[in-house]
Structure 1
Amino acid sequence: MLTGKQRSFLKAIANSIEPIFQIGKNGITDNFIKQVDSALESREIIKIKVLNNSFLETDEMAKKISELVGAEFVQSIGNKFIIYRESKEKKKIELP
């Protein structure tokens, strides 16, 4: 569980990154979850964009993906959301 200070720190980092995944009408597939898991292991923090043709809300998707990959939900703004998970091997981000 992230504290307010840690969440603010991660938001500041995520401000400068671009979304690396998009979720469309196909929703969340097993292959998509594997890719997100792999990206979290190498980057620790990622931004995902939910396209307008998706059938689910951004917050619902963020919570579901976070649960499936064991990550922490950081923030949702509009149709984008940010998730974080500490890397087991390639730790880059030092939380305050």
Structure 2
Amino acid sequence: MEKEKLYRLKAEANQLSPILNVGKNGITDSLVEELNKHIKANRLVKVRVLKSAEEGKDLKAIAEEIATATRSTVIEVRGRTVVLYR
């Protein structure tokens, strides 16, 4: 993805609020299904990863796992928030 588009998407993501929380159950089928609906409708979404979801995993690894499951691209991981785009 070119840098200009990446910067534009990051700026756009600053205005968004997280739409879903990934909790202790991790990345479930229902979470992926719900996330796919939101991504299809909005193209750019923000997801919050709760501490209970980590269980020794790296936050970037969790973000990549979500992106793979939803066939989207990780735009940014900031704190416990992941921005996805399709």
Q: TM-score, normalised by structure 1?
A: 0.83
Amino-acid identity (%):
26
**Residue 51 of structure 1 aligns to which amino acid in structure 2?**
L
Q: Are the aligned partners of 1:58 and 1:80 in contact in 2 as well (CA < 8 Å)?
A: no
Q: Which runs of 5+ in 1 are unaligned?
A: 86-96
Instruction: Tell me the number of residue pairs that the alignment of Structure 1 and Structure 2 aligns.
Output: 84
Q: Which runs of 5+ in 2 are unaligned?
A: none
Cα offset, 1:49, TM superposition: 0.4
Matched, 1:46 2:38: no
**Residue 38 of structure 1 aligns to which amino acid in structure 2?**
K
Cα offset, 1:43, TM superposition: 0.6
The alignment's C-alpha RMSD in Å is: 0.9
Cα offset, 1:16, TM superposition: 0.7
- Structure 2 match to 1:29: 28
Q: Are the aligned partners of 1:23 and 1:49 in contact in 2 as well (CA < 8 Å)?
A: yes
Higher helix fraction (1 or 2): 2
Q: TM-score, normalised by structure 2?
A: 0.92
- Structure 1 match to 2:62: 61
**Which of the pair has more CA radius of gyration?**
1
